[in-house]
Amino acid sequence: MKILVVNSGSSSIKYRLYDMAEESLLAKGLVERIGIEGSLINHYPSGKDFLKKEIDIPDHRKGIELVIEALLDSRYGVIKSISEISAVGHRVVHGGEKYSGSVLLNEDVMNTLNEFIELAPLHNPPNILGIKVCQDLLPNIPQVGVFDTAFHQSIPEQAFLYGIPYGFYEKYRIRRYGFHGTSHKYVAQKAAEMLGKDLKELKIITCHLGNGSSITAVKEGKSIDTSLGFGTISGVIMGTRCGDIDPAIIPYLMEKENLSFKEINNILYKKSGFMGLSEGISSDMRDLEEEAIKGNKRAKRTLDVLYYGLKKYIGAYTAAMNGLDVLVFTAGIGENSPKLRRAVCEDLNFFGIRIDDKINYDQNGKKAIISTEDSKVTVLVIPTDEEFMIAHDTAEICNNFRPKAGH
């Protein structure tokens, strides 16, 4: 069964084609600068030369057409006919309160997706556009939606409600949704697999630390709390996002600096986090670590705020689950920064967390157990693979999907 995974953004389309029987990647690629000068497609077929094509790509339809062409190409292609693709799995950022799992994208679901545009105005519209173009160009192939929010729909009311008048939840569905759900679910499952344990018996904290970051408490295989919430800004500090702040700061700053709603939003989402705290050094962890080694105080204080924030979440979620068996680090920073992992795990022996620093530093972005033998909590590094998880969910849904007679 071959599954195409599509992640359609406002000016880009990421794609991967998997052979699920072998669990192997056949090709991956990226269409970039859609509707902008200099548009192109980079196509990487496994085991073959890669293709870079600079070509006018005015819209997403042309982008998907190029993806299909590349997959079928006599030199760079990996399939002979489009009918070899059994299904398409789409990343959809927001599934609101309606979707706690992946779904077949029929007409009813498509109508519902429009309702969530308000909740993710930057992400859901290009996701929906990508789905519509694929439905149009590949009409006989089932399409599945996999939501970033779905895994967190198991979070109980006590953790998803905010302390604002309840009417706002009823009227606008203002609550904690959480994001990166596909990644948290993937690494939690992998952790159980790696340890040869039943996921349902484990208390896990998954730290997805990348440009955007979130920490999730996974109890008995279910997300019970997560650090991102209604929007993608709460929790620990991120590349340019502020993480948890006292809401009182917002009206105060707006008044002091005479800021509009758009301006304050821009500061909190685009000028804060690593970038803001370091006074412009960078939004990229590698730059901050390099500067901190040189003794740069601005870089050092930024890292200290991040490490401290992570420790607090680990403590809070350990309390929320009444224990902790496994701590997982994933995504760009979690997978690649031994320095951060050491700083976060240091002085957590009260919780039974001890890491082997040699293994931690030798791990080099690959999956590994980095805790010591006598650590009560197993600490893991697991490279995330959201696309594979999307392909996996899509295959599972399509295996259960039987078109009605006449279709």
Residues with catalytic function: 148
For 116, the 3-state DSSP assignment is: coil
Q: What is the DSSP string of 250-311?
A: HHHHHHHTT--HHHHHHHHHHSSHHHHHTTSS-SSHHHHHHHHHTT-HHHHHHHHHHHHHHH
Nearer to ligand AMP, 77 or 210 (CB): 210
CB of 262 to ligand AMP, least distance (A): 25
Let me know: does 103 contact 149? Beta carbons within 8 Å: no
CB of 3 to ligand AMP, least distance (A): 22
Give me the amino acid identity at 230: F
Half-sphere exposure of 381 (CA within 13 A, CB side): 27
Q: Which two tokens stand for residue 388?
A: 């594979």
Distance CA 25, CA 46 (A): 7
Give me the amino acid identity at 198: D
Find all residues with CB under 8 Å of 79, minimum gap 6, and list them: 2, 17, 26, 71, 72, 85
Chain residues in the site for ligand AMP (CB under 6 A):
210-211, 239, 284-286, 289, 331-333, 336-337
Nearer to ligand AMP, 154 or 211 (CB): 211
Nearer to ligand AMP, 180 or 222 (CB): 180
CB of 74 to ligand AMP, least distance (A): 33
Nearer to ligand AMP, 29 or 210 (CB): 210
CA–CA distances in Å: residue 12 to residues 59, 130, 152: 10, 10, 26
Nearer to ligand AMP, 109 or 389 (CB): 389
Let me know: does 227 contact 235? Beta carbons within 8 Å: yes
CB of 137 to ligand AMP, least distance (A): 29
CB of 368 to ligand AMP, least distance (A): 15
Token look-up 């992946």 returns 102
CB of 376 to ligand AMP, least distance (A): 27
Nearer to ligand AMP, 205 or 333 (CB): 333
Token look-up 């709460």 returns 234
Q: Which residue is nearest to ligand AMP (CB)?
A: 332
